[in-house]
Structure 1
């Protein structure tokens, strides 16, 4: 972004309509200084709209109350969507300053709406007589939102709820910015051939590009981008360097000084527990899970416990084999967490004759993008046309127009695939605009953000199979947004129960593992030759390899998340590291494995509330996705048209038209069991 001030140029957010393709934000004209004035105007406009609804002298009805609420705030949605997408994917100090100022104000604004007694009186007075099924669902969701925000509390409690919401917004913003600072601030320079020992050509190329981007041309560097550090931990034969890199990775957010997140976590947990108590819940976890498919913290804990025991047994058996291999290698020390990936890859080569360096040339990024698109075409009839002239917030962002089988354009898809210091870690789907029909047909603008390592000079980015799975996962989320087919914004796309939202993404991963998809799209980046059948067979045969490790590192994070938010000590103040250690001791966490997301950098849970008490949802949704893909197997065709049509109607296109249990039953005819999940992960007895 250019360093202009709002006074020097007209503010693009003052324009009622953007004439860019699909109404994309005109990124090249938006400067950081434009945002605060834009928020100021949009907030004032929304306040006026809310006051008009709350003060309407006419009797409360769906159209003049709930429908009016759905129509309000359009200007605020536009500036918020633009700003917060960039705050995560391409930030800078100016944007971070705006975020710190705006986040608590937006929280106070939301509280003022949902704690407005006149507005709540009107919302609660709207009856469902004569409403359509969709309108009844919208009414239900609004009434629930108001209640969960504290609309039925007394004046003093309402004031406290508003203060808590504002402070939590500040804390979540600071947590995220601290984490980004720790991630972008670390670099392990690799000097000379000794430091590069064991690294295959694709990884050397990625490390060379990373060093060049950080001002060290001709050198090599490892950063804390997952797609760079994980392969380094796999391939490096320098145990001392693996330990240094791993230590930086797991200590993000707990390095002392201004970027340390421990005090933020303690205060966050205290405020969440207090808010739950004010609303009459015994814990924050009980509050959050009351409106989910699981329905209770006990149900979520029960699923995690059902999976934990077989996963730990499997991981312990894997550990013993890796330890034996390390001893063969002359390592006298016990296996450590920074050794696991290295020796797991060595064991995979031995047992499955499979080498990640052999796989990656067949998984270039472009081929995997096309594989995801082709799968969507075969399932849902979608086509993707790249737009080269569309505005973009970074030169590497790509844009595709998405059309249905009859040629109707249904939305725009953006892909932002590469790691950079201005982007937070991880991978996610978001939207610049969601689908709706309330104010006429509105098509969605959906973005997938990744952190893949770039290839070397004149070389494409080559993905690991896990990277390719991540791409399919996030594209499944994107399809959930793109295929949305509802009238009201509150129900659109991914606005579903937290433990149902991962079903469309995790289900989509299954198609990546199908031989007919890989035969078509897994092609060598230089020769164009398809992956050899022998390699394909070995790759698929190894799908459950190391699944004890993968399940343990994930499930431990989910258990600690719930333990933190169920704890009766939360409101009194918790030492997050001591509590994490105690929780892991209770479940018997293997010392050789760390949580996938340790508490000080658990962005899912503490950089906002999206997955707070809800990290279990990936596993809950995996129960659904394993069972859902069986529907295609039972039909005898992984692209069966009738099954795909039901999937689109009741899952991908339905948003929150019905509760999660009803949606899944409408698709599958019944609720699932955990059997397919345990078989998928190789944990069945």
Structure 2
């Protein structure tokens, strides 16, 4: 154990501006001793709870567990923020070391028989405890959490489960680091004018910036950041370069060298299956779905296959139109996966008389951020105050105070928007600190939420504006929807705060918030041309809105294929010996169009292999979309998408409740009923 003098108090005592950590006082070397001390202190707290001579009560057992391990939570929050958003070799090495140690730490807590005895006694006598609904759910979570940690297993089985969990933690870390390495190591440098054929200024500016970051100021770089490679595939008229970029993009995790993920996936799937069997479940999907709205793999499959059949049929019709464009050009090649986006953009330009390059000058990052905050102000009476004077964990990160209608700060928001080689791909929200009202061991009562949004938008060259695609703008709104879920939380207990809800409910607030991006009055006010400051012309806006469902069959196929493969991987009777071949077999069986690729092929499918957060759960985006489409219709039915009563209902029944009520109950309280998939299918243009 590290001596106290070796510990950096900046990791656990957050007394910087707004209650943030002093990020600039923390070095990479501080984390290892801090983790060791914090884990030891947490175990001592657990032992004190377990060995309490008083009879178990909700306060002395469950509430005590809710605030135990505060120091460990703080160290981990800062470390894993760095590991995901601004890593380096030292952080990656410690991540590989600490992941199994943390797993072993929590396995030891799960194996504490005295602790489980107290929780089990409360669980068995829960009907006589006079618990509130929130307390009943919190108790259930602790009881089920300990059971899933092996509390009811025999000693040798308990040890095997701990070993499995530790190894899975190692594998998840390695998987994510392998993908990041493949993404960071590859770039296609373009130095000839004809290699830039078809590319607009906004993209060449971003590519110049990416090349300069890589020490090539003489070139333009196509990288595997989605914010560069997708527009390149959409706009480049050089088919040979599109193919090269696409093959590199889809080969992440399949490099054949030290960063290849095939063996990682194989072992991960085998261990997950073994874990599920140990805990009494038929397969890993059954284990993961136990605490969800969907409940069973059959329910998930019913939704996904209904959507799949409609989407594949529509995609087939779209492909015929794209193939006709190829013929018009005098070419005779089939539409391949590196062609679809390019010809779809041509078709969109023809059908709706606009292109992405016409729209993008109106989507400045700064103005879309303003729009995001303005919508929250209209709906919930909150405002965001930028604090450029406050240092975060990277110079690109912006800090905001979030204030209520009384101008009182109730949350802190950090926005980290630009791609860099030290950041993993994708976009996500996480909380450095969750809202709650309990008294902590240090005597402080309750905490304000500190929420981070991380994105990977292309950073412009010096002096140039950051321009977003419409998809990028939706991503920004999406992640801020998650942030609102965390910041508007109003619960007593940390474990059910904010996004601490069922996996297939967590995407509802984020996907719902996306709808307000394309409300015409929002576009008129914030979609301003970066050169002239003029609003997007009504004629162009009308075209953009009419084209909202264009190419949705493609998007639905590439997403749903991922969700189906995920579920098949985790319901297989026998874990696949060759996961990539298994993936291909599933795609063949469901009739995957050859001209469309999975959005995330499994060797770089971070959602399901870099940890198990979305394993057997990628379907949840679509499950939540059924809810969010119906929820936005509730606003539309009032004739005012900013209707104050609906907004108050949304805040009261969903955003503020976190996981303190059942997901179904929360939704019914808001909407009065559970939805059918029809609104979602209409939204995607798959039914009329």
Q: For 1:580 and 1:671, locate their aligned partners in 2 and report how far apart those are by CA, in whole Å.
A: 33
Gaps of 5+ in 1: 1-5
Q: For 1:173 and 1:181, locate their aligned partners in 2 and report how far apart those are by CA, in whole Å.
A: 12
Is contact 1:412-1:446 (8 Å) kept?
A: yes
Partner-residue secondary structure (3-state), 2:549: coil
- 1:177 alignment partner in structure 2: 177
Partner-residue secondary structure (3-state), 2:400: strand
Q: How far did residue 402 of structure 1 move?
A: 0.2
CA-to-partner distance for each residue in 1:99-151, whole Å, 9 max, x for gaps?
01100010111111122111100011123313222222211111121122221
2:51 equivalent to 1:55: yes
2:547 equivalent to 1:542: yes
CA-to-partner distance for each residue in 1:187-229, whole Å, 9 max, x for gaps?
0001110111111111111111110110001311110000000
Q: For 1:192 and 1:133, locate their aligned partners in 2 and report how far apart those are by CA, in whole Å.
A: 65
- 2:651 alignment partner in structure 1: 648
2:618 equivalent to 1:615: yes
- 1:244 alignment partner in structure 2: 244
Question: For 1:586-597, what aligned pairs fall within 5 Å after superposition?
Answer: 586-597=589-600
Q: How far did residue 306 of structure 1 move?
A: 1.0
Q: For 2:19 and 2:223, locate their aligned partners in 1 and report how far apart those are by CA, in whole Å.
A: 36
Q: For 1:280 and 1:15, locate their aligned partners in 2 and report how far apart those are by CA, in whole Å.
A: 39
Q: For 1:342 and 1:406, locate their aligned partners in 2 and report how far apart those are by CA, in whole Å.
A: 50
2:20 equivalent to 1:17: no
Is contact 1:243-1:338 (8 Å) kept?
A: yes
Q: For 1:130 and 1:316, locate their aligned partners in 2 and report how far apart those are by CA, in whole Å.
A: 58
Q: For 1:305 and 1:484, locate their aligned partners in 2 and report how far apart those are by CA, in whole Å.
A: 35
Q: For 1:502 and 1:683, locate their aligned partners in 2 and report how far apart those are by CA, in whole Å.
A: 21
Partner-residue secondary structure (3-state), 2:277: helix
Q: For 1:447 and 1:139, locate their aligned partners in 2 and report how far apart those are by CA, in whole Å.
A: 28
Q: How far did residue 318 of structure 1 move?
A: 0.8
Q: For 1:565 and 1:15, locate their aligned partners in 2 and report how far apart those are by CA, in whole Å.
A: 38
Question: For 1:576-595, what aligned pairs fall within 5 Å after superposition?
Answer: 576-595=579-598
Q: For 1:213 and 1:261, locate their aligned partners in 2 and report how far apart those are by CA, in whole Å.
A: 27
- 1:99 alignment partner in structure 2: 95
Partner-residue secondary structure (3-state), 2:640: coil
- 1:445 alignment partner in structure 2: 450
Is contact 1:28-1:393 (8 Å) kept?
A: yes
- 1:565 alignment partner in structure 2: 570
Is contact 1:202-1:456 (8 Å) kept?
A: no
- 1:353 alignment partner in structure 2: 353
- State the TM-score, normalizing by the size of structure 2: 0.97
Is contact 1:484-1:652 (8 Å) kept?
A: yes
Is contact 2:437-2:493 (8 Å) kept?
A: yes
Is contact 2:10-2:22 (8 Å) kept?
A: no
- 1:32 alignment partner in structure 2: 28
Partner-residue secondary structure (3-state), 1:426: coil
Is contact 2:429-2:482 (8 Å) kept?
A: yes
Q: How far did residue 156 of structure 1 move?
A: 1.4
2:498 equivalent to 1:493: yes
Which range moved further: 388-397 or 223-232? Answer: 388-397
Partner-residue secondary structure (3-state), 2:548: coil
2:558 equivalent to 1:553: yes
- 2:423 alignment partner in structure 1: 423
Q: Find 2:487's aligned residue among 474, 482, 493.
A: 482
Q: How far did residue 409 of structure 1 move?
A: 1.1
- 1:372 alignment partner in structure 2: 372
- 2:609 alignment partner in structure 1: 606
Question: For 1:211-610, what aligned pairs fall within 5 Å after superposition?
Answer: 211-439=211-439, 440-570=445-575, 573-610=576-613
Is contact 1:469-1:509 (8 Å) kept?
A: yes
**CA 1:406 to 1:551, structure 2 compared with 1: closer, same or farther past 3 Å?**
same
- 1:139 alignment partner in structure 2: 139
Q: Find 1:70's aligned residue among 66, 70, 76.
A: 66
CA-to-partner distance for each residue in 1:552-571, whole Å, 9 max, x for gaps?
0000000000000000111x
- State the TM-score, normalizing by the size of structure 1: 0.98
**Pairwise CA RMSD of aligned residues?**
1.3
2:674 equivalent to 1:671: yes
Count of residue correspondences: 678
Q: For 1:14 and 1:351, locate their aligned partners in 2 and report how far apart those are by CA, in whole Å.
A: 57
Q: How far did residue 10 of structure 1 move?
A: 6.3
Q: How far did residue 582 of structure 1 move?
A: 0.2
Q: For 1:218 and 1:16, locate their aligned partners in 2 and report how far apart those are by CA, in whole Å.
A: 45
**CA 1:610 to 1:238, structure 2 compared with 1: closer, same or farther past 3 Å?**
same
CA-to-partner distance for each residue in 1:57-110, whole Å, 9 max, x for gaps?
111111111111111000000000000011000000000011011000101111
Q: For 2:629 and 2:171, locate their aligned partners in 1 and report how far apart those are by CA, in whole Å.
A: 36
CA-to-partner distance for each residue in 1:353-397, whole Å, 9 max, x for gaps?
011000001000001000000000000001110111212111111
Is contact 2:38-2:72 (8 Å) kept?
A: yes
Is contact 1:14-1:38 (8 Å) kept?
A: no
- 2:442 alignment partner in structure 1: none
- 1:112 alignment partner in structure 2: 108
Q: For 1:72 and 1:380, locate their aligned partners in 2 and report how far apart those are by CA, in whole Å.
A: 33
Partner-residue secondary structure (3-state), 1:438: strand
Is contact 1:107-1:166 (8 Å) kept?
A: yes
- 1:3 alignment partner in structure 2: none
After TM superposition, which residue ranges in structure 1, 4 or more long, deviate above 6 angstroms? 6-10
2:660 equivalent to 1:657: yes
Q: For 2:608 and 2:281, locate their aligned partners in 1 and report how far apart those are by CA, in whole Å.
A: 19
Q: How far did residue 7 of structure 1 move?
A: 11
Q: For 2:21 and 2:605, locate their aligned partners in 1 and report how far apart those are by CA, in whole Å.
A: 31
Gaps of 5+ in 2: 440-444
Which range moved further: 374-383 or 512-521? Answer: 512-521
Is contact 1:254-1:262 (8 Å) kept?
A: yes
**CA 1:499 to 1:15, structure 2 compared with 1: closer, same or farther past 3 Å?**
closer
